[in-house]
């Protein structure tokens, strides 16, 4: 319990720090983002009205109030879920844009990451247990190969082979336009169908790292005295493999899991671009292309929050798995 409160306190402080940094950075940028935005709108022949101008100035601290009152206003807006207005998708707010794209990213990259972590870890345990056999050699070689191929290359190859040549799976987008009134499960299947190729890209490129990492940790723990001692005591193979070897081998990997889960939100950028998948990564690209500072700021905030939450979650798991961590502090 004390461990939990301790970590929770740490989480809250980190979130506050992230929010504050997010507030300060645009105010420390050289030049004035408001001017950039105005120029953008002017060049598009759609000059902003005085209200919009005022809102922008508020958001980027060009306003003439003190920085302290700006900060308080910023925190207050955040509490109400207000991240400002997107320029690209005007008049949609940043919150609305993120609300629309986040589920796609979480659904695709989140699921794919969890699959690759679980599958990679499981295969790593298996390979280590059967080390030196052909299965081990096969698994290790194949995943060394797949994790050496650049990520977007896998995406392009998959699109070309299974989308363009064979037409097994759609090449783009997250869903197709279906006639209205279609059954919900047909829609769900359609989404799944669209997610296969981008999901496979993420799994193929990520699984090798997990497999090899887990295999090497596991081979090390299999050589530990407590494993030999357990074997001497007659502990059965299954329990030996899971509770003695794998349970200890997984601990050094947990930090990596935290990073991977945290980067789900921002990390699927290339996959989303190749597959025109309407997730956060695509929105970030759009925001950068259009100098949409409010949207960028909102997305960075979401990415930071995701990393912090994932870390918190994994620390909880760590505390559950490793008694030494629970006791600390």
Partner 1 sequence: MRTPLASSPTDNPDGPPLILDQVSVSFNTSKGPARAVNDVSLTLAQGEILGLVGESGSGKSTLAFTVMGLLPDGARVDSGQIRVMGKDLYHLDPEVLRDFRWKGISMVFQSAMNALNPVLTVQDHIFDTLRSHDPNITDEKARQRMLELLDLVKIDARRARSFPHELSGGMKQRVVLAIAMVFNPPVLLMDEPTTALDVVVQRSILNQVREIQAERKMAILFISHDFSLVRSLAHRVAIMYAGRIVEITASLGKSDAHHPYTEGLMRAIPELSEDEVTISGIPGNPPDLLHLPTGCPFHPRCPVAFDRCRTEVPPMLQVQGNLVACHQYSRSGEESDHGLE
Task: Output the smallest distance, CB 142 to partner 1, in A.
Answer: 24
CB 190 within 8 A of CB 170: no
Torsion of CA 78, 80, 86, 91, to 10 degrees: -160
Among 17, 226, 242, 255, indicate the residue that binds partner 1 (CB under 8 A).
Answer: 226
Nearest approach, Cβ of residue 82 and partner 1 (Å): 46
Rule CB under 8 A: say whether 243 interacts with partner 1: yes
Size of the site for partner 1 (CB under 8 A): 22
| Residue 100 in the binding site for partner 1 (CB under 8 A) | no
Torsions phi, psi for 85 (to 5 deg): -110, 140
Which pair of tokens denotes residue 38?
């105005």
Q: Is 190 in the site for partner 1 (CB under 8 A)?
A: no
Q: Which stretch binds partner 1 (CB under 8 A): 5-13, 173-181, 222-230, 283-291?
A: 222-230
82 contacts: CB under 8 Å, gap ≥ 6: 93, 95
Interface stretch with partner 1, choices 12-20, 76-84, 282-290, 316-324 (CB under 8 A): 316-324
DSSP 152: H
One residue of 114, 156, 171, 224 binding partner 1 per CB under 8 A:
224
In the complex, minimum distance from the CB of residue 5 to partner 1, in angstroms, rounded to a whole number: 21
Q: Residue 328 CB, nearest distance to partner 1 (Å)? A: 10
Measured CA to CA in angstroms, residue 198 lies from 71, 257, 263, 267, 287 at distances of 40, 20, 16, 13, 22
Q: Applying CB under 8 A, does 1 fall inside the site for partner 1?
A: no
Task: List the one residue from 46, 68, 232, 289 that touches partner 1 (CB under 8 A).
Answer: 232
Does position 255 bind partner 1 by CB under 8 A?
no
Q: Is 316 among the residues that bind partner 1 (CB under 8 A)?
A: no
Write 32-41 long-range contacts (CB < 8 A, 24+).
32/60, 32/62, 33/60, 33/293, 34/60, 34/62, 36/291, 36/293, 37/87, 37/291, 37/293, 40/87, 40/290, 40/291, 41/87
* Residue in 51, 234, 289, 329 binding partner 1, rule: CB under 8 A: 234
**Which of 22, 205, 217, 248 touches partner 1 by CB under 8 A?**
248
Q: Are 97 and 86 in contact (CB under 8 A)?
A: yes
Does residue 205 contact residue 146 with C-beta atoms inside 8 Å? yes
Applying CB under 8 A, the span of 31-39, 83-91, 235-243, 266-274 interacting with partner 1 comes to 235-243
As given in the structure block, the two tokens for residue 294 are 């409010």
CB of 321 to partner 1, least distance (A): 7
What's the rounded Cα separation, in Å, for the pair 29 and 39? 17
CA distances from 280 to 80, 95, 101, 267, 287 (A): 21, 12, 5, 9, 10
Options 14-22, 32-40, 231-239, 259-267: segment touching partner 1 (CB under 8 A): 231-239
Binding of residue 244 to partner 1 (CB under 8 A): yes
Question: Counting contacts by CB under 8 A, is residue 186 touching partner 1?
Answer: no
Q: Which of 231, 259, 305, 309 binds partner 1 (CB under 8 A)?
A: 231
The burial of 63, by beta-carbon neighbours within 10 Å (0-12 exposed, 13-18 middle, 19 or more buried), is given as middle
Question: Which residues of the shown chain bind partner 1 in the complex (CB under 8 A)?
Answer: 224-226, 228-236, 239, 243-244, 247-248, 321-324, 327
């Amino acid at each position: 319990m004390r461990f939990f409160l301790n970590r929770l306190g740490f989480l809250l402080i980190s979130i506050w720090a992230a929010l504050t940094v997010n507030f300060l950075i645009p105010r420390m940028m050289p030049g004035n983002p408001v001017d950039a935005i105005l120029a953008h709108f002017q060049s598009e022949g759609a000059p902003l009205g005085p209200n919009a101008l005022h809102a922008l100035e508020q958001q980027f601290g060009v306003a003439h109030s003190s920085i302290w009152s700006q900060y308080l206003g910023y925190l207050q807006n955040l509490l109400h879920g207000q991240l400002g207005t997107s320029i690209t998708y005007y008049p949609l707010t940043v919150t609305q844009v993120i609300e629309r794209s986040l589920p796609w990213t979480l659904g695709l990259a989140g699921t794919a990451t969890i699959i690759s972590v679980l599958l990679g870890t499981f295969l790593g345990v298996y390979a280590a247990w059967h080390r030196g056999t052909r299965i081990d050699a096969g698994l290790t070689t194949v995943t060394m190969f797949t994790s050496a191929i650049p990520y977007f290359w896998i995406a392009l190859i998959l699109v070309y082979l299974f989308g363009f040549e064979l037409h097994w799976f759609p090449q783009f987008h997250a869903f197709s336009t279906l006639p209205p009134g279609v059954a919900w499960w047909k829609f769900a299947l359609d989404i799944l169908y669209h997610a296969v190729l981008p999901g496979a890209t993420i799994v193929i490129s990520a699984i090798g790292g997990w497999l090899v990492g887990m295999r090497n940790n596991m081979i090390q723990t299999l050589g530990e005295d407590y494993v030999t001692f357990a074997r001497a005591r007659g502990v059965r193979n299954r329990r030996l493999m899971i509770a003695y070897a794998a349970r200890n081998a997984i601990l050094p990997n947990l930090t990596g899991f935290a990073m991977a889960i945290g980067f789900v939100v921002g990390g699927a950028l290339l996959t989303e671009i190749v597959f025109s998948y309407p997730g956060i990564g695509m929105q970030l690209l759009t925001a950068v292309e259009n100098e949409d500072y409010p949207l960028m700021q909102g997305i960075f905030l979401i990415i930071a929050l995701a990393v912090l939450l994932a870390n918190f979650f994994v620390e909880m798991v760590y505390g559950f798995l490793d008694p030494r961590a629970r006791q600390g502090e």
